[in-house]
Structure 1
Amino acid sequence: MSELLPASRTEDVEPNHALPCWLVVDRYPETLERIYQLEPSPQLAYLFHETKYASLEEYSPLVVRIERGSALWHAYSQQQDTAVSQGVLIMSEETEQAVLKHLRQRLELHFYGYRKALFRFYDPCIAGVFFSADSTIDRWLGPLERVVWFGGTWVQIAEHGKRWYSCVGQPHQQRTEEQYKDEEPYKLSPSQEKAMENFVLVQAVWRKWTKQNRARESSEENITYFAQRVLAAMRLEPPPEHLQKVLEIFLTLTPGKWLAGVSELPAVNRLQEIERRAENTSQSKTRSFTV
């Protein structure tokens, strides 16, 4: 069974610092050029190569061998260089060929029966949601021993701030032959399906809110404010179809005593009660300003 471990520094995500390590990073216009600036002769591969997405190779995420203490390692670990910071670290005792083969097999997943999707596990936001939702993901990990990213889910950020996370799989010697040869598409568990669905809904509100308020997405203040509202909304456990509306209300009206008792109502009735109380609270504030 896998284990999710938080850490305050990159150096703390792997105690023995001995595992071979690769950076899987999303492809931005400046990413490839920046990698060559940091590593004159990088050991680099294109994730989409030899997959059904090979025709999109110019947009392919990059898989780069990374050495601890190198310029690329420092650029990633400091999380200040946007060209290379939007990725995850992969650690494994297996050969690079075996690691690449496995990552390419994990590019697609099944959900809600047999629906398929490209899985952007190399996006730290998606990695945080996926690896935090279920602890039984050794099958996805296969020959990988650790996946490392920076940030966290919105709820994790609200509770602890941004920090490093490491999903730790079974030790090399404990893995079965089946895990190495598993080429079947990974199917999301019910908890992962729910977590990913909520993530998509919340991200839509985040993009809308930052655009309407001309708020910088990189602002720690904005991220903290939004994360706290997400946490308040999640604690009320609204049905997925109500989550966005609850969150939008909380972004305009700070959660507080006016929500007392709402969590005791049936989940399907909470949004209606929140809307009623929010309107009454807003009207009371308006009257107090006009008296």
Structure 2
Amino acid sequence: MRVIQASTLSQLLNQNNGLQHWLVLEENGKTLSSLYRQLQSVDFDWLFLQTRYKDFLKRSPIVMPLNQATGGILEMFSADPRRGIAPGIVIASRAPRNEVLAHLRSCLEVAFYGNRKGMLRFYHPDIAAALFSQPEGVSGQWFGPIDQWIWQGHEMGVKPTASPLWQALEAGGQKDESVSAARQVLRLTRHQEHALERYIRLTRAFKQNRNPGESLDDMEIRRHFLGTDIARQALFPTENHNPVSATAESSV
């Protein structure tokens, strides 16, 4: 398992001969309408369909295959993978569509801090960075039929974000594609728990101190916030607490 880096998304995708690429986009209230303005028809699947979250399809992320017809969409997304269309990531796989969808849906719910469970927004690039930036802290169970998880940026607050690189976590020979593994609830490693704790502390601190309309998806606003004492205190708290547990009944 290793992380590959590139300055552009196309550089990463061009290395993946024989792999199908899938775009997973968060629904921000405008995602699907934005896609329909760019394409005559949109070939997509609701990520929440056939899951316990199926009653919330209006807020469901969408999964769409990338091909020649979606070249304009890929260009918009790669220019700004947080605000170009909507926050999202890319998946690379040789597996058929139904297997990719089934695996992504199984990744929606994770176990952490022992037996606590919660929904995980792995399709946001900041969450993906927290989960996958350190290969030694990632279980092979995340891969299943997936060959690569692709996102932009380092873990928020840990490395500079002036020119965020594109990252791809490659499975290599450490994929776990067994049927029994696919049926198990994904369990976060301690490294992933720590990374998500940092993410949650930072986003909470930002929301408590931001001006109206500001978002961490804006890289200029993000850079300014990460340079403040408030952000440093969130990254290095004096008290030991587990913010992920406080969100066990909601989504991360």
TM-score w.r.t. length of structure 1? 0.72
Q: Once the 2 structures are TM-superposed, how far is the Cα of residue 216 of structure 1 from its aligned partner? A: 6.0
Question: Could you give the per-residue CA deviations for residues 185-219 of structure 1, whole angstroms, max 9, x where no partner exists?
Answer: 1111111111111211111112223238x866455
Give the 3-state SS of the residue equivalent to 1:21 in structure 2. strand
Query: Which whole-Å CA distance do the structure 2 matches of 1:58 and 1:45 have between them?
Result: 12
- 8 A Cα contact 1:157 1:224, kept in partner: no
Query: Which whole-Å CA distance do the structure 2 matches of 1:81 and 1:176 have between them?
Result: 30
- 1:284 corresponds to: none
Q: Once the 2 structures are TM-superposed, how far is the Cα of residue 121 of structure 1 from its aligned partner? A: 0.3
- Give the direction of change, closer, same or farther, for the CA distance of 1:175–1:203 in structure 2 (3 Å limit): closer
- 1:48 corresponds to: 48
Query: Which whole-Å CA distance do the structure 2 matches of 1:140 and 1:76 have between them?
Result: 24
Larger Rg: 1
- 8 A Cα contact 1:47 1:100, kept in partner: yes
Query: Which whole-Å CA distance do the structure 2 matches of 1:84 and 1:49 have between them?
Result: 21
- 8 A Cα contact 1:31 1:83, kept in partner: no
Amino acid in structure 1 at the alignment position of 2:222: I
Q: Once the 2 structures are TM-superposed, how far is the Cα of residue 5 of structure 1 from its aligned partner? A: 2.2
Give the 3-state SS of the residue equivalent to 1:158 in structure 2. coil
Matched, 1:12 2:11: yes
Equivalences for 1:1-291 in 2 at 5 Å?
A: 2-14=1-13, 15-67=15-67, 70-79=71-80, 82=83, 84-135=85-136, 136-158=138-160, 161-170=163-172, 175=175, 177-178=177-178, 182-211=182-211, 217=216, 219-229=218-228, 233=232, 238-239=237-238, 241=240
Query: Which whole-Å CA distance do the structure 2 matches of 1:130 and 1:80 have between them?
Result: 17
Q: Once the 2 structures are TM-superposed, how far is the Cα of residue 31 of structure 1 from its aligned partner? A: 0.9
Q: Once the 2 structures are TM-superposed, how far is the Cα of residue 227 of structure 1 from its aligned partner? A: 2.8
Unaligned segments of structure 1, at least 5 residues: 245-291
Give the 3-state SS of the residue equivalent to 1:166 in structure 2. strand
Query: Which whole-Å CA distance do the structure 1 matches of 2:163 and 2:150 have between them?
Result: 17
- Comparing 194-203 and 106-115, the one that deviates more: 194-203
Q: Point out which structure has higher relative CO (alpha carbons under 8 A, 6+ apart).
A: 2
Identity of aligned residues (%): 26
Query: Which whole-Å CA distance do the structure 1 matches of 2:176 and 2:30 have between them?
Result: 40
Q: Once the 2 structures are TM-superposed, how far is the Cα of residue 75 of structure 1 from its aligned partner? A: 1.2
Q: Once the 2 structures are TM-superposed, how far is the Cα of residue 181 of structure 1 from its aligned partner? A: 5.3
Give the 3-state SS of the residue equivalent to 1:154 in structure 2. coil
Runs (4 or more) in structure 1 with deviation over 6 Å come to none
User: Number of residues paired by the alignment?
Assistant: 239
Give the 3-state SS of the residue equivalent to 2:146 in structure 1. coil
Unaligned segments of structure 2, at least 5 residues: 244-252
Give the 3-state SS of the residue equivalent to 2:19 in structure 1. coil
Amino acid in structure 2 at the alignment position of 1:9: T
Query: Which whole-Å CA distance do the structure 2 matches of 1:159 and 1:28 have between them?
Result: 23
Give the 3-state SS of the residue equivalent to 1:167 in structure 2. strand
Question: Could you give the per-residue CA deviations for residues 216-239 of structure 1, whole angstroms, max 9, x where no partner exists?
Answer: 645544322333458x948x9555
- Give the direction of change, closer, same or farther, for the CA distance of 1:60–1:138 in structure 2 (3 Å limit): same
- 8 A Cα contact 2:161 2:223, kept in partner: no
Question: Could you give the per-residue CA deviations for residues 66-120 of structure 1, whole angstroms, max 9, x where no partner exists?
Answer: 1267111111111178362410101100000000000111110000111110111
- Give the direction of change, closer, same or farther, for the CA distance of 1:220–1:181 in structure 2 (3 Å limit): closer
Give the 3-state SS of the residue equivalent to 2:197 in structure 1. helix
- Comparing 29-38 and 111-120, the one that deviates more: 29-38
- 8 A Cα contact 1:75 1:85, kept in partner: no
Amino acid in structure 2 at the alignment position of 1:202: L
Q: Which has more helix, going by share of residues?
A: 1
Query: Which whole-Å CA distance do the structure 1 matches of 2:218 and 2:59 have between them?
Result: 27
TM-score w.r.t. length of structure 2? 0.82
